[in-house]
A and B are shown apart, each in its own frame.
Chain A
Amino acid sequence: MKFSLFIGCTIPRRVQQYELSARAIFKKLDIHVEDIREFNCCGYPMRNIDFRAFVLFSARNLALAEKQGLNLMTLCKCCFGSLKKADYLMKNDVTLRNETNSILSREGLEYKGTLDVKHFLSVLFHDIGTSTLKERVTRSFKDLKIATHYGCHALRPSDIMQFDNPVSPVLFDQLVEVTGAKSVDWPLKLECCGAPLMGINNELSMDLTERKLTNGKESGADYLCVGCPWCQVQFDTVQEMVTSLRGTNHHLPSVLYPQLLGLVLGIKGEDLGIDMNQMDIRGLEGFLT
Chain B
Amino acid sequence: MFFNIALYVSLAIFGLGMIYKISTWFWRSIGIDVSHISTSERVLAAIKGILQTVCSVKIFTIFKAFLLDVVLQIRVLKENFLRWLMHMLIYGGFTLLLLLHALDDFVTQPLFPDYASTLNPFMFLRDLLGLLVIIGMGIAIYRRMAMKIPRLKTNPMDRYAVIILAIIMFSGVLLEGIKITSYSKYQQMVEEYSDTDDEEELKALESFWVKEYDVVSPNAKGPFDEDILAQGAEIHEMSCAACHSRPGWAFTGYAVAKMTKPLAGALDRAHIMDILWYIHFLACFFGLAYLPFSKMFHIFASPISLLANAVMDKESSHRANIATRQVMELDACTHCGTCSRRCSVAVAFHKFGNMTILPSEKMVFLKEYIANKDVDDKTLKTIQLGAYLCTNCDRCTVVCPVGINLRDLWFNVKEEVIQKDHPLPLVLSPYSFYRGVDGQALDPEKYSIPLNGARRAIVDRCELISTPEKILTLTPVNRQFKGQVDLSSQGGTYSYCFSCENCTTVCPVVQNYENPEEVLSLLPHQIMRSLGLGLKDLALGSNMLWDCLTCYQCQEHCPQGVKVTDIFYELKNMAAKEIFPELGD
In the bound complex, residues from chain A placing their C-beta under 8 Å from that of B555 are: 156-157
Nearest-neighbour CB distance to chain A for B541, whole angstroms, equals 16
Nearest-neighbour CB distance to chain B for A244, whole angstroms, equals 9
Is there an interface contact between B549 and A197, defined as CB atoms closer than 8 Å?
A: yes
In the bound complex, residues from chain B placing their C-beta under 8 Å from that of A211 are: 508, 512
Within 8 A of B (CB), among A154-172: 155-158, 166
B414-441: CB near A (< 8 Å → 1, else 0) gives 0000000000011111111111110110
Is there an interface contact between A50 and B547, defined as CB atoms closer than 8 Å?
A: no
The residue in chain A whose Cβ has the minimal distance to the Cβ of B511 is A211
A1-40: CB near B (< 8 Å → 1, else 0) gives 0000000111011100000000000000000000001001
In the bound complex, residues from chain B placing their C-beta under 8 Å from that of A207 are: 512
The residue in chain B whose Cβ has the minimal distance to the Cβ of A188 is B508
The residue in chain A whose Cβ has the minimal distance to the Cβ of B509 is A204
User: Please, how many angstroms separate the alpha-carbon atoms of A92 and B425 in the complex?
Assistant: 29
Is there an interface contact between B393 and A46, defined as CB atoms closer than 8 Å?
A: no
Is there an interface contact between A41 and B434, defined as CB atoms closer than 8 Å?
A: no
Q: Which of A93, A103, A198 has the most CB of B within 10 A?
A: A198
Interface presence of A237 (CB below 8 A): yes
The residue in chain A whose Cβ has the minimal distance to the Cβ of B585 is A52
User: Please, how many angstroms separate the alpha-carbon atoms of A132 and B338 in the complex?
Assistant: 43
Is there an interface contact between A192 and B508, defined as CB atoms closer than 8 Å?
A: yes
Interface presence of A138 (CB below 8 A): no
Segment of A53-61, A173-181, A249-257 in the binding face: A53-61
Interface presence of B551 (CB below 8 A): yes
Q: Which of B351, B508, B549, B565 has the most CB of A within 10 A?
A: B549
How many inter-chain residue pairs (CB < 8 Å) link A and B? 159
Interface presence of B190 (CB below 8 A): no
Q: Is the interface on chain A under 10, 10 to 19, 20 to 34, or 35 or more residues?
A: 35 or more
B564-585: CB near A (< 8 Å → 1, else 0) gives 0110011011001000000100
Is there an interface contact between B345 and A107, defined as CB atoms closer than 8 Å?
A: no
Is there an interface contact between A198 and B392, defined as CB atoms closer than 8 Å?
A: no
Is there an interface contact between A46 and B552, defined as CB atoms closer than 8 Å?
A: no
Nearest-neighbour CB distance to chain A for B19, whole angstroms, equals 38
**Known A-B contacts A49-B583, A157-B556, A238-B437; A199 and B351 likewise in contact (beta carbons under 8 Å):** no
The residue in chain A whose Cβ has the minimal distance to the Cβ of B489 is A93
Interface presence of B526 (CB below 8 A): no
Is there an interface contact between B344 and A106, defined as CB atoms closer than 8 Å?
A: no
The residue in chain B whose Cβ has the minimal distance to the Cβ of A212 is B508
The residue in chain A whose Cβ has the minimal distance to the Cβ of B566 is A157
Nearest-neighbour CB distance to chain A for B540, whole angstroms, equals 13
Nearest-neighbour CB distance to chain A for B436, whole angstroms, equals 3
Interface presence of B373 (CB below 8 A): no
Is there an interface contact between B512 and A208, defined as CB atoms closer than 8 Å?
A: yes
Is there an interface contact between B432 and A199, defined as CB atoms closer than 8 Å?
A: yes
Task: Among B429, B437, B440, B489, point to the contact of A233 (Cβ < 8 A).
Answer: B437
Is there an interface contact between B551 and A191, defined as CB atoms closer than 8 Å?
A: yes
Is there an interface contact between A200 and B583, defined as CB atoms closer than 8 Å?
A: no
Interface presence of B501 (CB below 8 A): no
Task: Among A13, A51, A107, A155, point to the contact of B394 (Cβ < 8 A).
Answer: A13
Interface presence of B118 (CB below 8 A): no
A-B pairs, 7 with minimum CB distance: A199-B432, A199-B436, A9-B393, A156-B552, A198-B436, A192-B551, A48-B429
23 residue pairs of the A-B complex, CB under 8 angstroms, read: A13-B393, A40-B346, A40-B347, A46-B389, A46-B429, A48-B576, A49-B426, A49-B429, A49-B583, A51-B570, A107-B150, A152-B551, A196-B551, A198-B432, A198-B433, A199-B432, A199-B434, A199-B437, A199-B439, A200-B451, A200-B546, A202-B436, A233-B437
Besides A50-B583, A201-B547, A237-B437, 20 other A-B contacts (C-beta < 8 A): A9-B391, A12-B394, A14-B437, A41-B344, A45-B433, A53-B352, A152-B551, A153-B550, A156-B552, A157-B563, A157-B566, A192-B553, A194-B549, A196-B430, A196-B551, A197-B549, A199-B437, A204-B512, A211-B508, A238-B436
Residues on A lying within 8 angstroms of B by beta carbon are 8-10, 12-14, 37, 40-41, 44-53, 56-57, 60, 92-93, 103, 106-107, 152-153, 155-158, 166, 191-192, 194-202, 204-205, 207-208, 211, 230, 233, 237-238, 241
